[in-house]
Amino acid sequence: MEAELERPWRDLGKYIEGRLREAVYEAELALKFLEAGMYRNAAGKAFQSFKALLAALAARHREQLVQRYPGAKATRGGKKVQYADWLIAVMPTGMMLEVARDLSSAEGQDLLQYANVALNLHEFRYNGLDKSGVLSRYARLSSVEEDIKALASYVSKKAAELRQY
């Protein structure tokens, strides 16, 4: 039975730990899929690993995000939570680059670089290769493979660093 991820407004510490575990598992799966030649699935898992890591980092810097993203949002259950807490819990794809930019001064500029890699892989997941470069930023599988390996490595290392705190 899969354990449910704690919500950040209930227990921030447990939420961060759960997201870090998720990030590492997804990175490992990305590499396994890559090894099996399942490039689009590997890209999707690499993206999910980064998204989980970014959510953990956002939770770690919650107070900064509360200042940056004021207001409240209703959850599906109708409970009102701070917008920053909702953002941390959901980490919408469309906000990932902005959140990474907001956190890059505290977590390093490489966070922003890898956010872009993750979003490129997310796009590849749905569009595949495109030699013309119109529908996908990737024209060669070797580039996809390189980015998946780099992103999985970054996520695993960053998650290990965060677990030491």
For position 1, what pLDDT does the model report? 37
| 127-164 per-position pLDDT tens digit | 999 888 787 899 999 999 999 999 999 999 999 999 88
Task: Using pLDDT thresholds of 50, 70 and 90, give the confidence band for residue 6.
Answer: low
Helix (H) or strand (E) holding 81, with range, is: strand 80-82
**What is 12-62+93-163's CATH number?**
1.20.120
The full set of domain ranges for the chain reads 12-62+93-163
Residue-averaged pLDDT of the chain: 93
Gap between the Cα atoms of 108 and 157, Å rounded: 13
- 107-128 per-position pLDDT tens digit: 999 999 999 999 999 999 999 9
pTM: 0.92
